[in-house]
């Protein structure tokens, strides 16, 4: 197996794609169920990760997701959403369609998860629908507060 990486420009070092090949130089699937990942940018900000099959078309990865869409506030991810090959909302293998994040002083303050209908859900990888974070003066997490669907 061989991996090849391309960049938007050598100067920026911004990753544009990663592609995987077998020993004969043919596109090959990695353990995640895809042969390539393409990164879509708006300027220098990544907006999407697209998973591609050996045919170069969108494919579902092992999490059941073809596209991960990102929205940012400054340099922090504000929202990540998961879609299938037709850009329809899907649940990731963790059990949520969208993660919503808020920040305070550059640190994550809350994270909340919803399903494809916008209803709060408790993802399998998390302890609650919403988690609130508190930090000490050195930027270390000192407290996590877990809230259910009712808050």
Q: DSSP string of 54-102? A: TTSSB---TTS-SEEEEEEETTEEEEEEEE-TTS-B---TTS-SEEEEE
Contact between 118 and 112 under an 8 Å Cβ cutoff? The reply is: no
Residue 19: which pLDDT band, with cuts at 50, 70 and 90? very high
Using a cut of 0.85, tell me whether the model's pTM lies above it.
Answer: no
User: Radius of gyration over alpha carbons of the chain, in Å?
Assistant: 18
Cβ-based neighbours of 10, under 8 Å, separated by 6 or more: none
For the four alpha carbons of 63, 82, 144 and 74, in that order, the dihedral sign comes to: positive
Residue 108: which pLDDT band, with cuts at 50, 70 and 90? confident
């Amino acid at each position: 197996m061989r991996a090849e990486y391309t960049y938007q420009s050598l100067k920026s070092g911004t990753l544009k794609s990663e592609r995987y090949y077998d020993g004969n130089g043919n596109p090959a699937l990695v353990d995640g169920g895809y042969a390539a990942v393409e990164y879509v940018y708006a300027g220098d900000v990544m907006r999407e990760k697209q998973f591609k099959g050996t045919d170069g078309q969108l494919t579902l990865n092992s999490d059941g997701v073809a596209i991960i869409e990102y929205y940012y506030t400054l340099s922090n991810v504000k929202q990540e959403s998961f879609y299938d090959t037709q850009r329809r909302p899907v649940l990731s293998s963790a059990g949520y369609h969208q993660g919503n994040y808020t920040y305070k002083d550059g640190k994550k303050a809350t994270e909340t998860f919803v399903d494809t209908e916008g209803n709060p859900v408790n993802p399998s990888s998390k302890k609650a629908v919403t988690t609130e974070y508190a930090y000490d003066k050195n930027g270390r997490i000192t407290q996590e507060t877990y809230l259910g669907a009712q808050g």
